[in-house]
Amino acid sequence: MTHISIDIRSLLSQRSNNWSQGTIISFPNSTTFDNSTTRWSTYDAPSYLAAISPANEADVAKTVRLASSHRIPFLATGGRHGYTTTLRDLQGGLAIDLSQLNSYSIDRAAGTLTVGGATTLGDFQDALYETGYMIQSPAVSCPGYVGVTVGSGVGRFTGLFGLVADALISARLVTADGRIIHVSRRQNADLFWGLRGAGANLGVVVSASYQAHKLVNQGQILNADLIFPANKSKEYFDVLHSFIGKMPAKLAIVSLIVFDPVAQAAQIVANWVYIGPREEGLRVMAPVLALNPPVTNIQVVPWNKLAPTAAGGADALICPKNSSHNTWWANLRRLPSSTFQASFDELNNFYKLYPEARGTTINAETFPNQAMAAVPDDDSAYPWRDALGYIQIGVVTESGNAAGDPAAEAGNSLARRLRDSWAATSGYPDLSVYVNYARGDEKLRQRYGSRKLPRLAALKKKWDPRNVFAYNNVLPMEYRG
């Protein structure tokens, strides 16, 4: 546990702090504290001695100044969806819960969206759609939109619109010394560069503005949910591989390998999305539909209903908090069918050996990168604009991945082997991972890219010389490779 010499309860409760009306201070063993600190994932999570839920950005800045001046370690969170294991390094700290900063506003004439530091896609997607706009987004509706942004934000729209961070116009940010500053291409441009890819290391974003896009195809999207049994897995992965180098910008694919309790074996649950007319999308999907999946559900949905509809409504299953998510990811520039099939076979065997770990899944996201790759590499800190896919194993056991659980230990062993095999055939010279997907055990260059790290280290030294933003895949202040 981090040693704090000061009485944090007394410090936060002092009248001289002059907190705004609506700012809430809470402590362990209370419902308010639980509501302010409960995370999406309990795996290697941080712990806190106190929490503060500021009512406004001024109290966020005041909290950062107070904590920094008394050397109290803290973590500011929005959706609390982040799951990197580096967060476990904060034990017995202060939670700065941004959940009250969950507003949004839309400028219809300019086509811009402004959100608070904890606003989620689920908060604003209906209103944005009704205004005639859409925007790049994560695959699910529950992460904080700002939290997605500061890692850069991959998703189904990288072919058409680019990364979530590519839509960012400006942000209001609390610095390490507790100032509130404006960040954009014109103001504090160096910080704006680093914010898009490594922002969790550089400040607390209390609000952000984005450029939205006019609805494509009047906002109507073709969604196809397909299920393939084990005996069709090779054919499916061959079709997936056939899209390398010719993935349409409007197509996005998520392929899940999950346990089928009826067949008592692994199966593929696939979600294919086409951001365009139904007939055009069906022609693009023809190769996979020709495999005649035994379960097929094809429908057209409006953009704002895609996240809750896709993959059979997986959003509702994925988003609830307070579960153990033990995840291992890798980026892909290639889509090797043989590697996918080998991963399928290994997981299928794992299911047989460890029935108590049949909640374990593999998730392969295959997203087009045309718009993402069209942005110059030096435009932002994000280093992986050439990626075509992202693949993950999430180890889930009945014990909640408890220490000493043989199934959890076997799951970790499997995950390491699979991640190594994905890295070896990924098309990258080494393991690489989108930082919002990082487990936390990867080398710095594997998360941030060796060519970006010297500039990022200089930014860290300039904007956070005391390293108060120290727990989310922390950057060094010097980097020599």
Q: Dig out the tokens for 431 from the structure.
A: 């393991």
Task: Provide CB contacts within 8 A for 300, sequence distance 6+.
Answer: 220, 221, 222, 223, 278
Dist CA 387 CA 159 (whole Å): 11
pLDDT, one tens digit per residue, over 227-270 is 999 999 999 999 999 998 899 999 999 999 999 999 999 999 99
pLDDT at 289: 98
pLDDT at 390: 98
Q: What is the pTM of this model?
A: 0.97
Contact (Cβ atoms closer than 8 angstroms) between residue 119 and residue 102: yes
pLDDT band at 195 (very low <50, low <70, confident <90, very high): very high
Dist CA 221 CA 272 (whole Å): 11
Give 77's strand partners. 97
Dist CA 171 CA 117 (whole Å): 10
pLDDT band at 225 (very low <50, low <70, confident <90, very high): very high
Contact (Cβ atoms closer than 8 angstroms) between residue 208 and residue 98: no
Of 461, 463, 468, the closest CA to residue 476 belongs to 461
- For residue 164, give the 3-state DSSP assignment: helix
pLDDT at 395 over 70: yes
Of 284, 282, 449, 249, the closest CA to residue 366 belongs to 249
pLDDT, one tens digit per residue, over 399-455 is 999 999 999 999 999 999 999 999 999 999 999 999 999 999 999 999 999 999 999
Task: Provide CB contacts within 8 A for 313, sequence distance 6+.
Answer: none
Dist CA 376 CA 372 (whole Å): 9
Share of the chain above pLDDT 70, in %: 99
For residue 186, give the DSSP letter: S
pLDDT at 41: 97
pLDDT at 150 over 90: yes
Of 24, 78, 31, 11, the closest CA to residue 51 belongs to 24
Q: Is 117 left (phi over 0), alpha (psi -120 to 50) or beta?
A: alpha
* Mean predicted confidence (pLDDT) in 46-60: 98
Residue pointed to by tokens 């990288």: 158
Of 102, 55, 105, 45, the closest CA to residue 75 belongs to 45
* Mean predicted confidence (pLDDT) in 296-317: 96
pLDDT, one tens digit per residue, over 75-126 is 999 999 999 999 999 999 999 999 999 999 999 999 999 999 999 999 999 9
Q: Please state, rounded to an integer, the average pLDDT across all residues of the chain.
A: 97
CA 207 vs. chain centroid, Å, equals 18
pLDDT at 6: 82
pLDDT at 74: 98
Q: Give the H or E element holding residue 333.
A: none
Pairing of strands 74-77, 93-97: parallel
Contact (Cβ atoms closer than 8 angstroms) between residue 288 and residue 272: yes
Of 306, 305, 374, the closest CA to residue 166 belongs to 374
> 10 Å Cβ neighbour count for 189?
11
Q: Dig out the tokens for 115 from the structure.
A: 């959100």
Task: Provide CB contacts within 8 A for 221, sequence distance 6+.
Answer: 273, 274, 275, 276, 300, 301, 302, 303, 306
Of 275, 270, 260, the closest CA to residue 291 belongs to 270
pLDDT at 290 over 60: yes
- How far is CA 283 from each of CA 278, 286, 290, 374, 436, rounded to the nearest angstrom? 9, 5, 11, 26, 33
pLDDT band at 5 (very low <50, low <70, confident <90, very high): low
Dist CA 47 CA 143 (whole Å): 20
Buried (b) or exposed (e) across 272-282, using 16+ Cβ within 10 A?
bbbbbeeeebe
pLDDT at 3 over 80: no
Residue pointed to by tokens 């374990």: 360
Task: Provide CB contacts within 8 A for 178, sequence distance 6+.
Answer: 61, 62, 64, 65, 68
